[in-house]
Amino acid sequence: MKAPQRGLLLDYGGVLTGPVHRSFAAFEAAIGIPSGRSFEVLVEASREPGGGLIGALERGELPLGRFDARLRQLLEADGHEIPPDGLLPGLFAAMQPAGVLWDVVRQVRAHGLPTGLLSNSWGTDAYPRDTLEEHFDVLVISGEVGLRKPEPAIYVLACERLGLPPQRCAFVDDLPRNVEVARDLGMFAVLHDGDEPAIVEALSGFLEVDLSMP
């Protein structure tokens, strides 16, 4: 049997769901926090080697409950009144599976090419595991492997699990830095900027298969 010549890796949040910032903004509006402020205070608390608070969460080093409590502290110190329930479920509530790339993954697998998820996780329980396992041959989730994007090692690991070198793998992510690192490794990396027809066309060309919009 001929070995696959190309493979596809996709991010989850913002690629296989609606935009992350919209989910955050909807929750912030509901509790009276300025749009984008939750992520701003997290970034301010993560400006250190290894990604600080965010890096520790994404690598699985910081329990979700402790991260949630720390975010509450940061927002309260910023002058915001926070409801008693957990923050992260609210921030991610609107991030449901969406977009044409789910169908694209099915098409890619139908052509006999391997597919994988490469995702930075804020906790691992919210992923729709059954759906993901129906679409992907491998799941590389940061909190389960102790690595996070944009660390080069997690990209290399994902490619190895697909059984292909980076130069034979396409990758789609919604964050420019994650795309830049993938390109530096030789991957065919595409920024998910909302133009799904253009993304499908680019993947079709690299993977050398006929992909169509659903």
pLDDT tens digits for range 57-93: 999 999 989 988 998 999 999 999 888 887 888 888 8
Buried b / exposed e over 180-198, threshold 16 CB at 10 Å, is ebbeebebbbbbbeeebee
Closest CA to 12 of 127, 160, 109: 127
Strand 138-141 versus strand 169-173 pairing type = unpaired
* Secondary structure class of 172 (helix, strand, coil): strand
Q: What is the pLDDT of residue 24?
A: 87
Q: What is the CATH number of domain 7-18+96-207?
A: 3.40.50.1000
pLDDT per position as a tens digit, 21-39: 898 899 899 889 999 999 8
Six token digits for residue 214: 């659903």
| 2 — pLDDT class (breaks 50, 70, 90) | low
pTM here is: 0.92
Mean pLDDT of the chain: 93
Non-local (6+) Cβ contacts of 185 within 8 A are: 152, 155, 156, 166
Q: Where are the domains of the chain?
A: 7-18+96-207, 20-91
Q: How far is 4 from 112, CA to CA, in rounded Å?
A: 7
Is residue 1 scored above 50 in pLDDT? no
